Amino acid sequence: MTVRKVKSVWNGTLKEGKGTMGFTGYEGPFTFATRFENAKGTNPEELVGAAQSGCYSMFLSALISGEGLNPESIETEATVTLGDLDGGPAITNIKLETVVKCAGLSQEKFKGTGRNSKSKMPNFKALCRWYSKY
């Protein structure tokens, strides 16, 4: 079993404070403005979107390869919406858009495999289990 650790530190108040997030190969700052406004920088929600898009692309590759095909590339973009849920900020939607280059992959096969990938990929299952606890 693979275990990974990530770390974040926040200093100061919500609006005036600042923080850093770090994990293997990445360390970066985040602030109130990068989360709730359009300031330059990253935020936890973008990292969730990056994790979802990366996991989806890799799992889709595994499913397509399992069909005997050899995907050349799979590019997935995640659009993460931070909205209001129960009176507080929450990720209310993650939309994935994917472009696959793969000889022999029909549109119908892609649609079926894509749906299968979304429901079975590790990150999706983790988020569903986590949200169902609340």
**Alpha-carbon distance 118 to 128, whole Å?**
11
Burial (0-12, 13-18, 19+ Cβ within 10 Å), 50:
middle
Q: Copy the structure tokens of residue 38.
A: 């359009």
Q: What is the pLDDT of residue 134?
A: 46
**Alpha-carbon distance 115 to 118, whole Å?**
5
Segments of the chain scoring below 50 in pLDDT: 133-134
Which residue matches tokens 């985040």?
A: 30
Would the pTM count as exceeding 0.85? no
- Domains in the chain, please, with CATH? 1-42 (no CATH), 43-132 (3.30.300.20)
Q: What is the pLDDT of residue 17?
A: 97
